[in-house]
Amino acid sequence: MNYRHAFHAGGPADVIKHAVLVRILVHLCNKPAAFRVIDTHAGAGLYDLQGPEATRSPEWRDGIDKIMRGVIGVAEHALLKPYLDAVLALNSADRLTRYPGSPMLARTLLRSQDRLIACELEPNAAAALAHNLGGDRRAKAVAIDGWTALNAYIPPPERRGLVLIDPPFEAVNEFARLAQALEAAHRKWPTGIFLIWYPIKRRQDSDDLARRLRRSAIPKVLRIEVDYKTQSEAGRLAACGLVAINPPWGMAEEVEILMPAFARIFGGGGRLNWIARA
């Protein structure tokens, strides 16, 4: 499977991933100490919803467009507001034309003392990322393999922060590699927050990842999985998951509030459970 950011920008998987990402960043901002965000597979950072990739695969119509137009309760809206505000800031009030990737969303939440390292190896995406983050001293784009970056940049000097791992899942052994990399990264930075996104094509892959993490020495692991319907061709990705290691206190309860909204708007279901909880 190849999950390239540009073809799926703003789709249901992006909405779910980015809503949780922003909630983590909001929690990090609640304390004055500086934090660092490390985005290991950052993509281009900003996507044209009218461009060739997005129009060839217009998943944003099933994702961000639906969440913007959907009926959202007061509690749900309060949790989603920082994320939706970041998207709206790039668009006119009545038309979606651009969608921010994870590094641009992270930059929105950075304070003057915080830092972002966004890593991307694919040359075209890396050049676009450098352009999109250019001129902001808080953010740095690095043309480096994401797996190499995961080992190289942790622990950060701030000693608090978030690592987002969102690989393209091009290799057949990506889930096994992901579990191994997480165990090694946690040993290096046991207090860091790690957020991992993965596609669900076969439940066996995600369940194997959960079992591997359950057997590891990682004491605090939350799993979030969401199914959703699409209006496009059969065979398109219709479920995704997130693993949060060391999620901030209260975040699980926030996601529990958001899950019914995702199910209602995207027409699916999901599960939320602790793989490990010290």
Residue 1 pLDDT: 40
b/e map of 178-214 (b: 16 or more CB within 10 Å)? bbebbeebbeebeebbbbbbbbbeeeebbeebbebbe
Residue 174 pLDDT: 87
pLDDT bin (cut points 50, 70, 90) of residue 171 is confident
The residues assigned a catalytic role are 166
Res 125 pLDDT > 70: yes
Res 274 pLDDT > 70: yes
What pLDDT digit, counting tens, does each position of 65-95 carry? 999 988 899 999 999 999 999 999 999 878 8
Alpha-carbon gap, residue 154 to 163, rounded angstroms:
9
pTM of the full structure:
0.94
CATH number of the domain located at residue range(s) 5-277 in this protein: 3.40.50.150
Residue 80 pLDDT: 97
What number is the average pLDDT over the span 221-240?
79
- Closest among 110, 163, 107, 104 to 128, alpha carbons compared: 104
Res 217 pLDDT > 90: no
Strands (E), 33-103: 36-39, 46-48, 98-100
Q: Which residues contact 73 (CB under 8 A, 6 or more apart)?
A: 261
CA distances (Å), origin 179, targets 46, 213, 242: 28, 7, 13
Q: Which has more confidence, 54 or 245?
A: 245
Res 230 pLDDT > 80: no
